[in-house]
Chain A
Amino acid sequence: MFSYLIRRILYAVPILLGVMVLTFFLFFVVQKPETMARNVLGKRATPQTIAEYLHKRGYDKPRFINREPGQPFYDSIFFTQLQKLATFDLGVSDVTGRDLKTVFKEGAIPSLLLTLPAFFVGFIMAVGLALYLVFVRETRLDAAGALVSIALMSVPPMIYIIFGQAVIALTFNYFPAFGFELSGLTTLKFLLLPVSLIVVMGLGSDVRLYRAIFLEEIGQDYVRTAQAKGVSSTRLLLVHVLKNGMIALITLVVAHLPLLVMGSLLIENFFGIPGLGNLLVSAIQTSDFATVRASVYLGSILYLIGLAATDVCYALVDPRIRLS
């Protein structure tokens, strides 16, 4: 397994390089640093002020390769950025000048407070409902469950947010429609609605998928044997089918775990939760290249970690699989 992991890490290098080239292309070729400088410095900025701003941040260097005589070829924006990201030197925000490590640390807490409970509650609910549908399979309720699941999958996320804010928060007046406070039980008050919305948003597709997995399990020989031995339907589902179906489920969900730290773009933005999703939207709106670049880089690393973790989990929970 060790050699497999080493290989996996080596595979990650070209992928990360690709991500860096792509983000670099987007932020230094499609959208130019001069635009960002103008945004930051305002409409009165003279070409000289803009040039000084870019020079201080090293954005006036050649883009890819330095062809200036006497200059090393790698003294360019691309290689400087590459070196910084490779050494996890995230630098400072282009707009506010704040240290990005601190900014990310501050944002990770609200993001995790939102996404972790949503992930676990969503997982438990989806498994529970999928088992329920398997339990009532081939009945009208099962068909209705499938229909509702498809409906939940088809509704765009924005509609959930509008429903949550306009109906649950505004008409029923249960929860605040907006806001966040990091202080004990008060935090719960702000999180209940957005967490519920994330759960419901993912419920349709998860229930459909998990139901299919459990239905596959229920057709297996060992289930028929257990039934023949007189095991009750409830025990059959909650012990035999659930346990074996979990092998497939765990490998599916582990990939998402590391990415939870990056938060949720839409929900954080609409509910004013100061997490990393909110940070990214704000950085895009203000042309804060450094923050967007660091966000994309961290997101890619976390995604790759998730994929590697999935493989490892597969091997751990299913003795038939060996990583080599």
Chain B
Amino acid sequence: MKKVCLLRLAELSGVARPCLAAIWLLAFLLTGCHNDPNPKPWREKRADGKPWVVRYASMPEEVRSLDPQVSYDSISRMVLEPVQDCLLEYAPMKIDPYELQPCLLESIPSRTMNADGTVDYLCKLKRGIFFHDDPCFPRGKGRELVAADVHFSIQRLCDPKVESPISANLAEYIAGMTEATDAAKRNGERFDYATMKVSGVEALDSHTFKLHLLKPYPQILYWMAMHFMAPVAQEAVNYYDGLPHADGSRGEMISRPLFRFHPVGTGPFKIVEWVRGQRFRFVRNENYRTTVFPSEGWPKERDAVNGPLAGHALPLVDEVQLGIFRELLPMWLLTRQGYLDRFAVQKDAFNSLISATKGLTPKYADRGLKLEKAVEVSTFYISFNQQDPVIGTNKKLRQALSCAYNPQGFIDILYGGVAPIAQQLLSPGVFGYQKDFRNPYAFNLEKGRRLIAEAGYPNGIDPATGQPLKITMDTTANSSAERQLAEYEQRQLEQLGIHVEVVENTFARMLEKEDQGNFQIAAGTGWGADYPDPENYFFLFASSNFPPTGKNINRYKNPEFDQLFEKMASMENSPERLEIARKLNEILIEDCPMVLNFHKAYFVVTQPWSPETQVNMMLEGGFKYMTVDPALREQKRREWNAVALWPIPVAIALVIAGLGYAVYINRRRNV
């Protein structure tokens, strides 16, 4: 048979031969290629013979630094979270309210108030937790985590060379941090880890330490759930110095990466591959025993998924491939092909996926996709400058403007209607958030018109000029979407009969204006909370927090608010604290230093084989709790990715027709 084919090929004319070769090459490429962009799993099977389970996830940008004491952006934290466990962590299933639970610590640290106003936290590390196996340790075997590692991490926060962005914030509370930082600065910015101890971290034994605070700061527990205070092995920091070293086995000089690109943690996964600009690959830490899947806290509808997993060892999958997607379209396409297990619905995909009733469109519901709503711990608002002679001094005018603004249109434009309208400064799940609270100055145009008349501007007319009151609104309008949003806000406020002039700024200029208080109204302001505590929201309006050192860009000042805030900030959660948080909310709503807009939220679509175990937005991915049914995934992928064959003969026919036409013309011209 083969011989016949070869003979026939040899007999073919000069034009047909390359054509046939091209067809063969095309057929070879199409059969050799498949559209799966994910690399092969790290292993085929587990050590116990069970199938190796991979989870495919995505993130929008490359990481900046993986140094736990430095990383602040959510992307870097998403990569650090699986690798580097923290002292405490967020209970994954509890979001109403959010709750902390022990991670590397045995229990939530107990607090002792001292007579001199200082505070101590007694912290006990779990025993038998080991750092990942890594060449930085003797014989490459990770050693046990001890209290000295926590002290080393706090020392690193003080090291000027580490450049921790929150060093100054924590130095205000943890005893000895300021002194250690100053000592390093006096020593030519060189931090001597042997002598420059931080008195605030006192090791009582190998696994117990006391954290001394200069003043009450219950929020320190939330900081313990962030990577800044996560213990780091000094061996790893010293070993990964970014310099060339002689490789023992071959005698060559090999450059070691910097520690900030090679974290060595105690977490449920290890990074086994990092292809810059493309992906991270995490593989299960076989020795991980620190936490297990929780046995309670989820809503009833998640019982079927989470119930059987209660008490299960973590992580649930063997490998996570975390791809970097700078554009949204490819992410959506790969989700449709089944090559991503989860997709945060963005604008490009919104109309295809989400129906008018905010459910899945029938096409994707039939595919077995599931829709979840994730609300971030954030609140966005339009800020009034309280030092502005027109806006700042006229409460009724601010209230009127608040009543004129309907956030729903903004939410529809920006978030497809999914984000909830903010009724209060605190976001859902934060201690002090009141589910039933309705902002009395929420959108109500009639009330707004009444209030603006009471404010001295009937129908929006400034009696001094006889013209509509002119107000300037500063915004960062760098894209058409931002301009559209600014126009929306302008139109809404102008319903009162006033004239709103929009000033577009670069991001840098906007920051400058906010720092200087050089604006009347600033659009697009808000806060993504570091931790779900009312202190982390209300501090935005404390007068001790004016720019440039603080974040009170509204320059709001109210002695009663300040006094209550100071009291509430240093209290542990209690009914009394709850009452103060409510009072703070009332004061703020009545004084109206901002127009509340929305809490950021989006839809998350999960594939039929990867049910969502949790939607805790304080976790950056929560990969250790994620599960997958690989057999179903394989089946669906085959169904969804059948190769279309018809375009190939059509393309070949077109090429042949073109060539044939050329031959025809040639013959006719040469006759």
Q: Which residues of A contact B (CB under 8 A)?
A: 30-32, 34-35, 38, 40-49, 52-53, 56, 95-98, 106-107, 132, 135-136, 139, 141, 161-162, 165-166, 169-181, 185, 188-190, 192, 232-234, 269-272, 274, 278-279, 281-282, 285-286
Would you list which residues of chain B between 328 and 349 have a CB under 8 Å from chain A?
Answer: 329-331, 333-334, 336-337
Contacts of B33 in A (CB 8 A): 174-175, 189, 192
B39 proximal to A (CB < 8 A): yes
Contact B323 A97 (CB under 8 A): no
B604 to chain A, nearest CB (A): 20
Contact A179 B643 (CB under 8 A): no
Not counting A44-B72, A47-B549, A132-B658, a sample of 8 additional A-B residue pairs whose C-beta atoms are within 8 angstroms of each other reads A34-B508, A53-B163, A97-B260, A171-B644, A173-B35, A189-B32, A232-B670, A234-B666
Q: Of all chain B residues, which has the CB nearest A168?
A: B647
In angstroms, Cα B661 to Cα A278, docked, is: 43
Contact B165 A41 (CB under 8 A): yes
B479 proximal to A (CB < 8 A): no
Contact A31 B508 (CB under 8 A): yes
A131 to chain B, nearest CB (A): 10
Contacts of B334 in A (CB 8 A): 177-178
B552 proximal to A (CB < 8 A): no
B64 proximal to A (CB < 8 A): yes
Contact B277 A278 (CB under 8 A): yes
Secondary structure dominating the interface of A: helix
B115 proximal to A (CB < 8 A): no
Contacts of B39 in A (CB 8 A): 181
> Which one of B131-139, B166-174, B212-220 is at the A interface?
B166-174
- The 8 Å CB contact of A172, one of B261, B326, B644, is B644
Contact B670 A106 (CB under 8 A): no
Q: Which residues of B contact A (CB under 8 A)?
A: 29-30, 32-39, 61-65, 72-73, 160, 163, 165-169, 258, 260-261, 275-278, 323-327, 329-331, 333-334, 336-337, 506-508, 511, 528, 530, 548-549, 551, 641-644, 647, 658, 661-662, 665-666, 669-670
Contacts of A278 in B (CB 8 A): 277, 326
Contact B277 A136 (CB under 8 A): no
Q: Of all chain B residues, which has the CB nearest A99?
A: B242
Contact B64 A95 (CB under 8 A): yes
Contact B278 A178 (CB under 8 A): no
Q: Of all chain B residues, which has the CB nearest A41?
A: B165
Contacts of B72 in A (CB 8 A): 41-42, 44
Contacts of B326 in A (CB 8 A): 269, 272, 278, 281-282, 285
Contact B333 A35 (CB under 8 A): no
Contact A165 B670 (CB under 8 A): no
Contact A38 B643 (CB under 8 A): no
Most A CB atoms within 10 A — which of B163, B324, B511, B549? Answer: B163
Say yes or no: A272-B168 contact (C-beta < 8 A), given A135-B666, A170-B337.
no
Contact B644 A45 (CB under 8 A): no
Contacts of A165 in B (CB 8 A): 329-330, 333
Contacts of A176 in B (CB 8 A): 35-37
- The 8 Å CB contact of A270, one of B29, B166, B330, is B330
Q: Of all chain B residues, which has the CB nearest A96?
A: B64
Say yes or no: A44-B165 contact (C-beta < 8 A), given A174-B33, A180-B278, A189-B33.
yes
In angstroms, Cα B64 to Cα A286, docked, is: 9
Contacts of A97 in B (CB 8 A): 65, 258, 260
Contacts of A32 in B (CB 8 A): 508
Say yes or no: A272-B330 contact (C-beta < 8 A), given A35-B511, A97-B258, A136-B661.
yes
- Top 3 A-B pairs, shortest CB-CB distance: A179-B37, A274-B277, A42-B72
Contacts of B258 in A (CB 8 A): 97
Say yes or no: A233-B661 contact (C-beta < 8 A), given A41-B72, A172-B644.
no
Contacts of A161 in B (CB 8 A): 329
Contact B327 A270 (CB under 8 A): yes
Contact B166 A44 (CB under 8 A): yes
